[in-house]
Structure 1
Amino acid sequence: MSHVNLTQIIEKMKLENLTPEIDVKGIKITQPDINRPALQMAGYFEHYEATRLQIIGFVEYTYMEAMTEERKNKIYNQLLSYPIPCIVFSRELHPDPLFLQIAKEKNVPILMTKKATSAFMAEIIRWLNVMLAPCISVHGVLVDVYGEGVLITGESGIGKSEAALELIKRGHRLVSDDVVEIRKVSDDTLIGNAPDITKHFIELRGIGIIDVKTLFGVSSVKDTQSIDLVIRLEDWNKDKEYDRLGLEEEYTDYLGNKVVCHNIPIRPGRNLAIICESAAVNHRQKKMGYNAAQELYTRVQNSLARRREEDEEDD
């Protein structure tokens, strides 16, 4: 199961640890959902999602302040007895000493953020959705071409890295070479990134490993990119019929999401970088509502219709 260490969350979200005595290194978050324990503060613990990250905002905080000491002692002990990964107080709200004391006894980390509750919730949910999304690794190269994430796949040695290098020289940005980690962050969106060990590196046969960031600058690389288009490179087969119009889209499937896929035959003299650029721009144009293949088809149909009308008039 995917997980995020609590130490990562503390570092990423710049949280202040109010219980430094508690060791947070082994605590893991396994789901992107959060919980605001308002009903639990009122004493209702049915269906309590205790394994989620807990966030206490201004409303919960003022309710806690209004409780009697006896009520606090009962509710705090009951609340903190559950296996809670951590509790985050927003708006720099400080929990009362009794809450901190019981949290330390129950070994529940208490954290604090300066951000407003809604803003922090939106940010943490978005980040956890990416980090905990279903993930697979595929063999290929991911490049940002005019804002479109182009995943170049194909057999080893067919020229994927060489095409990526030419695209980088033409001003586009490398995300990953050789291995691409793909995460499904929603039913419509796939996000690709490079493994930490190979980030910003490209392997070129006959030359070896090159550092793209060092050679071409920070503007030539990118950490993550949505995958909008797949280009599958294959050896040219003269006996195979290749699509020359593109009226019907072909798709490939990753983690249940369909992505537009073009099969590009490779033969000497074909400039892969320009082909990839053209495919990316054409795909972007289609998303904006213009389809060149459909436009050509419409023109042909109109031309044929005019000829038929002229023939009927002649008769």
Structure 2
Amino acid sequence: MPKVKTVDLIDEFQLELISGEEGINRPITVSDLSRPGLEIAGYFDYYPADRIQILGMTELTFFSRLSPEVRAGRMERLCSDITPCIIVTRGIDIPQELIVAAEKVSVPVLRTSMKTTRFSSRLTNFLESKLAPTTAVHGVLVDIYGVGVLITGKSGVGKSETALELVKRGHRLVADDCVEIRQEDDDTLVGNSPELIEHLLEIRGVGIINVMTLFGAGAVRSHKKISLVINLELWDQQKNYDRLGLEEEKIRIIDTNITRMNIPVRPGRNIAVIIEVAAMNFRLKRMGVNTAQQFTEKLNEAIEENKHE
């Protein structure tokens, strides 16, 4: 199933359908747009036919100066079997040659009253969001002091219970159990909840609760950029856990590396408070304050001073 079709653009941007109605279900596979100025001038060697074609004032003003025979030929080459659609901006009158050529191969010709640059920007943002690489992970996503924290771990380790405690402490739930993640940029991962379980939290022994109903609209949010992954694991006496925090472990999700911390779970440890502090410390590091590094530097200075005494 294609993620985006031409008909989706018509609904999203209230576009006017001029011709090519039979092709409104054509798939859109790339978020890149094309303004075919060179093609209208006759250079089709590198024509990106699989992109949405945008015609603005510049292209159509030049096109109007061509002879009728040339205009017809250019538009026929512009309308291919794989072109999702051709969109004319600024409410400009559609050239008859374009309508005729589009009808032959059922390429939808659409029109908007928006200016070309503004429309291109909004359309690109829409397509990049819809066509972004996606995945789903088992975990809980919580917004803690503005930091998107993805809590992972084996089933039954206490992820949902920890999320409930964090919500009670004033933080916001994004998703529980299943987190849908999309990569919106080279280093930006955004997580959200599947629609079926949005705002819901499963607590063993209690059942499913609606966080928004219990705690109010301020206790939830629809999506959040993921900045930190915290993995909960049962305490292992044989394992050496990081006690300074000098080195940052990374985990790769889709094509992005995210900082990961392993938090051991055992009776008596307040995991919610630990995760809250971890999020605050993560923010502090991003602001240039690294407590572990400062401690190490002071320790080294003290050792050097003792050597010279």
Query: For 2:142 and 2:204, how far apart are their aligned partners in 1?
Result: 19
Match of 1:50 in 2: 49
Query: For 2:113 and 2:271, how far apart are their aligned partners in 1?
Result: 49
- 1:59 deviation in Å? 0.9
Query: For 2:2 and 2:258, how far apart are their aligned partners in 1?
Result: 24
Matches within 5 A, 1:58-69: 58-69=57-68
1:30 partnered with 2:16:
no
How far does the alpha carbon of each residue in 1:53-87 deviate from its partner, in whole angstroms, 9 at most, with x for none? 11112211211222333322222222224421111
Query: For 1:210 and 1:112, how far apart are their aligned partners in 2?
Result: 46
Match of 1:290 in 2: 289
Query: For 1:152 and 1:21, how far apart are their aligned partners in 2?
Result: 47
**More displaced, 245-254 or 185-194?**
185-194
Say whether the 8 Å CA contact 1:180–1:195 is kept in structure 2: yes
Match of 2:5 in 1: 5
> TM-score, normalized by length of structure 1?
0.90
- 1:94 deviation in Å? 3.1
Match of 2:134 in 1: 135
Aligned residues: 309
SS in 2 for 1:22: helix
Alpha-carbon RMSD: 2.1
Match of 2:83 in 1: 84
SS in 2 for 1:66: coil
Query: For 2:179 and 2:231, how far apart are their aligned partners in 1?
Result: 14
SS in 1 for 2:185: coil
Query: For 1:196 and 1:20, how far apart are their aligned partners in 2?
Result: 34
Matches within 5 A, 1:106-255: 106-255=105-254
**More displaced, 193-202 or 255-264?**
193-202
Say whether the 8 Å CA contact 1:3–1:31 is kept in structure 2: no
Unpaired runs of at least 5, structure 1: none
SS in 2 for 1:18: strand
- 1:157 deviation in Å? 1.4
Query: For 2:126 and 2:291, how far apart are their aligned partners in 1?
Result: 38
Match of 1:274 in 2: 273
Query: For 2:212 and 2:6, how far apart are their aligned partners in 1?
Result: 30
Say whether the 8 Å CA contact 2:2–2:27 is kept in structure 1: no
Q: Which amino acid in structure 1 is aligned with residue 293 of structure 2?
A: Q
Query: For 1:271 and 1:14, how far apart are their aligned partners in 2?
Result: 51
Query: For 2:118 and 2:165, how far apart are their aligned partners in 1?
Result: 41
- 1:216 deviation in Å? 2.8
Say whether the 8 Å CA contact 2:72–2:97 is kept in structure 1: yes
Say whether the 8 Å CA contact 2:20–2:102 is kept in structure 1: no
Q: Which amino acid in structure 1 is aligned with residue 194 of structure 2?
A: P
Give the percent of matched residue pairs that are identical in Structure 1 and Structure 2: 45
1:256 partnered with 2:263:
no
Say whether the 8 Å CA contact 1:190–1:257 is kept in structure 2: yes
Q: Which amino acid in structure 1 is aligned with residue 35 of structure 2?
A: R
- 1:108 deviation in Å? 1.0
How far does the alpha carbon of each residue in 1:155-190 deviate from its partner, in whole angstroms, 9 at most, with x for none? 111111111122222222222111112222333222
* Distance 1:20-1:102 versus aligned 2 partners, 3 A rule: closer
> TM-score, normalized by length of structure 2?
0.92
- 1:30 deviation in Å? 1.0
Unpaired runs of at least 5, structure 2: none
Query: For 1:55 and 1:7, how far apart are their aligned partners in 2?
Result: 16
* Distance 1:11-1:218 versus aligned 2 partners, 3 A rule: farther
Say whether the 8 Å CA contact 2:229–2:261 is kept in structure 1: yes
Query: For 1:278 and 1:115, how far apart are their aligned partners in 2?
Result: 47
Say whether the 8 Å CA contact 1:2–1:132 is kept in structure 2: no
Q: Which amino acid in structure 1 is aligned with residue 144 of structure 2?
A: V
- 1:20 deviation in Å? 7.6
Query: For 1:95 and 1:133, how far apart are their aligned partners in 2?
Result: 32
- 1:295 deviation in Å? 1.0
Query: For 1:104 and 1:276, how far apart are their aligned partners in 2?
Result: 59
